[in-house]
Every structure is written in C-alpha cells, then in structure tokens.
Structure 1
Amino acid sequence: MSSSTPPGPCRARGALRARTGGRTGRPRSAEADAAILAATRASLVELGWSKLTMGDVAHRAGVAKTTLYRRWANKNELVVDAVAVLFDALELPDRGSLAADVEGVVLQFAELLAQPETKTALMGVVAESTGDDALRTRIRAAIVERQKRLVVDGRRRAQARGELPLEEDPEAAARNTDLVFDVVAGAVVHRTLVSAEPVDEDWARRFTVLLLCGLGAISS
C-alpha cells in the first residue's frame, strides 16, 4: 500500500487529525466533523464564546458529547478548528497581475470576515488567546500558518510573470512571507472588525497601491 497522502476527502480528514493532535481510535466521519464544526459556529453566533458549551454543540450536531471529546479535548480546540475551516475557503485565482490578485484576495477576505459566524468566532478566539499561550499556538498553526499559502502562491505567480524578483535565500523569503501576510491580514482585520468600516473596491485598490508602491503612490 502506498504511503503517500490520499487525495480528496481523505486528505481533509488527515489534516484535521493533525490539527487535533493525532488522536486515534474509531475511524472518523467527515460528515460528523462537518456537522460539529457548523454547529460550533452557529452556537458562537447565538450564544457567544462564554456561553458556548460542548454539550450545546453536541446537541446541535446530533452527536454524543463523547464524540466531540474523541476529536477535540476542549472548547478552545473545537472553536479554532471551526474557524480554520472558514479560512480554508480563501483562494487566490489568477487575475492577470499582482495588483489584481491582491485586490481580489483582500475583497474575498473582507467578505469572509463580514459573515456573522466568522466575525464572532475570530474575535472570540483572539480575545481568549490573550491569556492562553496554548490557544495562541493553535491559532497560529491552524489558521495563520495555513493561510500564508496565499502569499507564497501569489509571490510565485508574480515572479513567474516578471513582476517580482526571484528570491534565492529561503530564510529571507520566509521572513518576507510573514511580513506580507501580517500587513495584509492586519489591515483587513482592523478595517472590518476594529474600525467597522467597509472594505470596498476603492479601499482595496488604494491599499494595494500602498502595499506595492509605497506612500508616495497614494496621493492621488
């Protein structure tokens, strides 16, 4: 039997096992996982972080509470994975130029953050993580590091077009990936969740000009 990662749903289940610490036991059901994560997001919107319980999620998902604990050790782990699934929907389709790619992903990210379940879940886990190092580590692994793929893919595409220079130093490339991700994610999250201002096409265009060309380019 091949040891390579199987495609499709099997790959998704394997990734989820990795996020939940590799616990083994009864084979997992992708349908049950999806129902549990959807129920978690619904509970967050209706009840908020403080009132959400594993028992409520189990009831909404139509599973036994023991089923949840076989997959997630606590509420923190469960909520992070419920949020991570939403961010995995982000894509970076080729729009023909680096500027268009950036504008597109900014608008897509803002649209995702505008959804009540995403907004409530993300703000809840971030607030809770300020006093919980383990939760902060899990957020970084399940959401932040996974979404840096968008920056990596976008830069590779721009390099292939000749819009960006190739980077021969892997460590420098990794540092640049971190910086670009922090700038884009930080700006969009602040705009939508902190300032509660819209991220429309004009804002996305001006932000992209600032990101790619610097302060001198946004005077017009």
Structure 2
Amino acid sequence: MARPRSTAADQAILNATRSALVELGWSRLTMADIAARAGVAKTTLYRRWPGKSELVVDAVAVLFDELELTDRGSLQADIEGVVLSFAALLDRPETKTSLMAVVAESTHDVALRDRIRAAIVDRQKRLVLEGRARAQARGELPQDAPGESARTVDLIFDVIAGAVVHRSLVSAEAVDAEWARTFATLLVGGLAAASAG
C-alpha cells in the first residue's frame, strides 16, 4: 500500500521551487536543485511531478489560489480590490519570475500551455463567477441569458488578467488605486452597455 503524500513535503517542494527559480532562472533550474532545497529525494519529486515544467506551474498555481474577491459593497469596488490584489501578487519576485518563465516555455510546449490553463486560468475564473453572481444578487447586473455565462466569464477574465499582467509585467507600470479605479469604471461601463444591448 502506498504511503499518503505529505502536505508538509509538498509545501516545502513548492516553496523551494519558487525560491530556486528566482535565484537560478529557468534555464539553470533543475529537479536536483529543488530536491536539495526542499530536503527531499529526487525520486520524491518525480513521484509527484513528471518534470520541471509541471512542478513550476503547480508552484505558481498555489500563489494564485491565494487571491480572494472581498465583498466591498459594489461591483466597481470589488473589481478595484481584486485588481489591486492581483497586481500585488504579480509584484512578488517568486510570482513574477515563475509566471514569466512558464509562459515563455509554453510558447513551444502545448502540454504545458494546457496545464497552465487548467491549473491557473480555469481555477481563477472562480473569482469572475463569484463577482458576477454577487453583482447580479445586488441588482447591478442582469441575470444571464441562456448560454451567455461561460462566454461572458471568459471575456471578463481575459480583460482583467490581460490588462493587469500587461501593465505589471510587460509595461512595468504601477497598478495603483487610481489606475484600478479607472480600469474598473471602464469595465463596469462596458458590462452595463453589453447588458443593455
């Protein structure tokens, strides 16, 4: 009978992966480095993850799972809050380095791209679903028409994630309270126009 996985070991491995990546960069990072930092055998890593790419994606995904959509009383304020939280997460060296590395690698690795979508993108769409449901309950947005929800959730997620990632990581500009307010105003206005149309 197989022994159960150790949550403490998993956490140590994910932490070691992020710190090693920040220090060494993608090209120099090895499973041996990660195992040594985590204090586990390489075989322990390979039992859990088939390779470096999968391990780094999971190490990044755990960071994104920290994001929450706090109820700030209105759709506008909720969007501002999640944008600022997302930007703060992207500003952490371990998030920035890990995310940029796996996205770069995924440009020529379809399986890695699929893993990023499943482990990070699809899991974080929960924030959009939660925010829309809350706004609909407040009467700020109409209820979904049949078949509309999935398309709209995808679009809202792409707009928010795309704008914040581009500004933070590509343009290297600040995502501050003023920018978040302006962005949220545009998004809420667009959602209202789309609902009215």
Question: When the two structures are superposed, what TM-score results if normalisation uses the length of structure 1?
Answer: 0.85
Shift of 1:110: 0.1
| 2:25 is equivalent to residue 57 of structure 1 | no
Corresponding residue number in structure 2 for 1:182: 158
How many aligned residue pairs are there? 190
- The one-letter code sitting in structure 1 at the alignment partner of 2:169 is L
Between 1 and 2, higher relative CO (CA 8 Å, sep ≥ 6) is seen in 2
| Residue in 2 that maps onto 1:157 | 134
Deviation at 1:27, TM superposition (A): 1.1
Counterpart in the other structure of 1:211: 187
Q: Under a length normalisation based on structure 2, what TM-score does the superposition of the two structures give?
A: 0.95
Deviations 1:107-152 (A, max 9, x none): 0000000000000000000000000000000000000000000000
Identify the match of residue 10 of structure 2 among 15, 25, 33.
33
* The one of 83, 88, 98 aligned to 2:75: 98
- Separation (CA, whole Å) in 2 of partners of 1:161 and 1:60: 48
User: 1:67-82 counterparts in 2 under 5 A?
Assistant: 67-82=44-59
CA distance in structure 2 between the aligned counterparts of 1:25 and 1:145, rounded to whole angstroms: 30
Who is 2:194 aligned against? Answer: none
Corresponding residue number in structure 1 for 2:112: 135
1:185 is displaced (CA, Å) by 0.1
Give the match for residue 195 of structure 2: none
Runs of 4+ in 1 over 6 A off after TM superposition: none
Aligned AA (2:152): N
In 1: Cα distance, 2:124 partner to 2:141 partner = 21
SS at match of 2:34: helix
Aligned mates of 2:23, 2:120 — CA distance in 1 = 23
Question: Which one of the candidate residues 8, 25, 29 is aligned to 1:48?
Answer: 25
Q: 2:71 corresponds to which letter in structure 1?
A: D
Aligned with residue 66 of structure 2, among 71, 79, 89: 89
**Any stretches of 5+ residues in structure 1 without a counterpart?**
1-23, 215-220
Structure 2 segments unaligned to the other structure (5+ residues): 191-197
Deviation readout 1:171-202 (Å, 9 max, x if unpaired):
31000000000000000000000000000000
Write out per-residue CA displacement over residues 44-92 of structure 1, whole angstroms, 9 at most, x where no aligned residue: 1000011100000000000000000000000000000000000000000
Go from structure 1 to structure 2 and tell me whether the alpha carbon gap of 1:207 and 1:122 turns closer, same or farther (over 3 Å shift): same
